[in-house]
């Protein structure tokens, strides 16, 4: 058989997909008990993939077997219950199953005529997100790869609108000769914001930095005087402490001055979806754009970033593409590429729809608040074991100081990571090396937390014994 006939047979006979299914189920059954981070042997075995580009077509079954034999053990078990290193969510079963189905669809979602189902579900998700998060009715959504891209989109829309309000057509006139534009951000703003500011040409040296309190929240009294040339970036969930900026006071001031406010809420924006934590997001509906990830707190598959913007015209004008072959239904049907930098995109919104459909408002509340409960438990158990907790655990982040000496803290961190019991990351907080815990997976149980807290105790004992 030629290559085309071989692939037709593989698709028709289904054995290849059944093989992949078997490997996937085997991985899922063992992920909660295995080492969270791969062993040194598993990492060394990755050399099995190092070879020259094959000259001939390969055997599909052997390729899958190689991936499972050497790739699965070298993956990080973030879909288990004891991964706390970065703000990496788990994966809700219905969204994983949805991803499998939509992978067979293999939809390009640039235009409605390319994928009517995706266009419709993007509309539905947009409406549900407004309802869940309490956002203005004019808010539209762009479905991108992650918050980094979403921030870029939000600030691009802000740039276009702020310049337009000053009589400057940025798309045609660009930066050269443009009137002054000011960017105001907190000292604790995430690196993704800084990246977007650089990519958009604002210049990092031009950022007006605002000092924060001991939790990393912007101090409203330290804010500069705002005017109609300002873009203000606030934070829903400090990446270390989990703290939320005071949205209402700053947004009121910005709106009065004619400034634009973007809220970076990669994992924290979902707090608006739970009755017991929504006080953290009070006033966020007064902003102009928001960025959030589905693949963090909501536990959708990667990659699932969302840009929300109340100024549809600014967003579309800043991001739109054109071409003689692009038949746009703008104004009639939803063409997804109008709301994102990309044209070709996978159907990630279908998984988001499945998550929101499955969870409903009560499920989102239970999921999000449950992560908070496990973070509080982690902090309490570590505090009871005489570890210093340096933040108020308002959401899902815990900052731990196991020692007054940075060197000892690093050694304890490395011991925990090498133990395989759990995986936590490092950070610097108020000039001091710390261990940072992010509780983001629905799988994480009370037992997982207690087991992980014990790993901290054993690591400290082992290091101090030396």
pLDDT reported for residue 332: 74
Q: Is residue 110 part of a domain?
A: yes
Report pLDDT for 333. Answer: 83
pLDDT of residue 325: 41
Cα–Cα distance for residue pair 168/255, rounded to 1 Å: 20
Is 61 domain-assigned?
Answer: no
What's the confidence (pLDDT) of residue 124?
A: 97
Residue 315 lies in a domain: yes
Q: State the CB neighbour count (10 A cutoff) for residue 213.
A: 13
Low-confidence ranges of the chain (pLDDT < 50): 323-326
Beta strands in 223-379 (DSSP E): 230-235, 260-264, 289-293, 305-309
Sign of the alpha-carbon torsion through 237, 239, 243, 244: negative
The angle that helices 116-133 and 348-384 make with each other, rounded to 10 degrees, is 40
The reply to whether 6 falls in a domain is: no
The structural domain count of the chain equals: 1
In angstroms, the CA 197 to CA 148 distance is 11
Does 444 map to a domain?
A: no
* Nearest-angstrom CA–CA distance, 189 and 217: 9
Q: Is 25 exposed, middle or buried (0-12, 13-18, 19+ CB in 10 A)?
A: exposed
**What's the pLDDT at 138?**
97
d(CA 153, CA 158) in angstroms, rounded, equals 9
pTM over 0.85: yes
**Residues 152-205: tens digit of each pLDDT:** 999 999 999 999 999 999 999 999 999 999 999 999 999 999 999 999 999 999
User: Is 442 inside a domain boundary?
Assistant: no
Q: What is the pLDDT of residue 321?
A: 55
Range of the domain at 214: 98-357
CATH number at residue 348: 3.40.640.10
Element (H, E) at 183: strand 182-186
pLDDT at site 326: 47
Residue 327 inside a domain? The answer is yes
N- to C-terminal Cα separation, the chain: 65
Tokens matching residue 194: 């800084």
What is the three-class DSSP state of 220? helix
Residue 74 lies in a domain: no
As a whole number of angstroms, the distance between CA 126 and CA 120 comes to 10
């Amino acid at each position: 058989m030629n290559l085309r006939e071989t692939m037709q047979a593989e698709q028709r006979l289904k054995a290849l997909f059944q093989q992949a299914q078997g490997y996937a189920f085997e991985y899922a059954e063992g992920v909660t008990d295995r080492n969270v981070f791969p062993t040194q042997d598993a990492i060394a075995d990755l050399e099995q993939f190092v070879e020259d580009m094959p000259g001939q077509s390969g055997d599909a079954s052997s390729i899958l077997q190689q991936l499972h034999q050497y790739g699965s053990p070298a993956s990080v078990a973030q879909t288990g219950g004891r991964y706390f290193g970065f703000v990496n969510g788990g994966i809700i079963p219905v969204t994983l199953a949805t991803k499998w189905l939509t992978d067979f669809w293999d939809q390009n979602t640039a235009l409605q005529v390319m994928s009517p189902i995706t266009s419709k579900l993007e509309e539905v998700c947009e409406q549900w997100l407004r309802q869940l998060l309490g956002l203005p009715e004019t808010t539209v959504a762009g479905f991108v790869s992650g918050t980094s891209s979403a921030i870029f989109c939000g600030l691009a829309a802000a740039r276009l609108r702020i310049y337009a309000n000053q009589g400057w057509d940025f798309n045609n006139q660009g930066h050269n000769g443009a009137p002054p534009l000011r960017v105001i951000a907190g000292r604790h703003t995430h690196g993704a914001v800084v990246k977007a500011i650089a990519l958009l040409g604002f210049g990092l040296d031009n950022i007006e930095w605002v000092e924060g309190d001991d939790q990393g929240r912007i101090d409203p009294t330290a804010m500069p005087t705002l005017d109609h040339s300002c873009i203000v970036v606030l934070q829903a969930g400090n990446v270390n402490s989990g703290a939320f900026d005071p949205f209402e006071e700053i947004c009121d001031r910005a709106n009065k001055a004619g400034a634009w406010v973007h809220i970076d809420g990669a994992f924290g924006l979902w707090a608006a979806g739970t009755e017991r934590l929504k006080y953290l997001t009070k006033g966020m509906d007064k902003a102009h754009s928001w960025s959030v990830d589905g693949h963090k707190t909501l536990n959708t598959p990667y990659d699932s970033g969302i840009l929300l913007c109340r100024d549809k015209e600014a967003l579309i004008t800043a991001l739109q593409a054109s071409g003689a072959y692009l038949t746009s239904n703008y104004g009639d049907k939803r063409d997804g590429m109008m709301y994102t930098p990309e044209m070709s995109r996978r159907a990630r919104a279908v998984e988001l729809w499945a998550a929101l459909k499955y969870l409903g408002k009560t499920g989102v509340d239970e999921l999000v608040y449950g992560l908070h409960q496990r973070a509080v438990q982690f902090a309490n158990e570590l505090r009871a074991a005489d570890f210093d907790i340096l933040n108020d655990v308002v959401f899902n982040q815990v900052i731990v100081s196991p020692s007054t000496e940075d060197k000892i803290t690093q050694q304890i961190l490395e011991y925990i990571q090498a133990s395989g019991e759990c995986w936590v990351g490092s950070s610097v907080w108020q000039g001091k090396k710390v261990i940072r815990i992010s509780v983001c997976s629905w799988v994480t149980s009370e037992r997982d937390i207690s087991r992980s807290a014990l790993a901290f105790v054993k690591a400290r004992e082992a290091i101090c014994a030396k």
